[in-house]
Amino acid sequence: MSKTNLHANRPLSPHLQIYKPIPTMVMSIVHRITGGALYFGTLLVAWWLIATATSESQFNVVSWVFGSWIGLLVLLGYTWALVHHMIGGIRHLVWDTGRGLDKHTTTKMAVASLVLSIALTILIWIAAFTVL
Q: Which residue segments constitute the domains of the chain, with CATH numbers given?
A: 22-131 (1.20.1300.10)
Q: What band does 19 get if pLDDT is binned at 50, 70 and 90?
A: confident
Q: How far is CA 1 from CA 7, 9, 12, 22, 49, in A?
A: 11, 12, 20, 41, 64
31 is in an annotated binding site: no
Which tens digit of pLDDT belongs to each residue from 24-57? Answer: 999 999 999 999 999 999 999 999 999 999 999 9
Q: How far is CA 51 from CA 14, 34, 103, in A?
A: 48, 25, 48
The pTM (predicted TM-score) of the whole model is 0.84
Q: What band does 20 get if pLDDT is binned at 50, 70 and 90?
A: confident
Please, what is the average pLDDT of the chain?
92
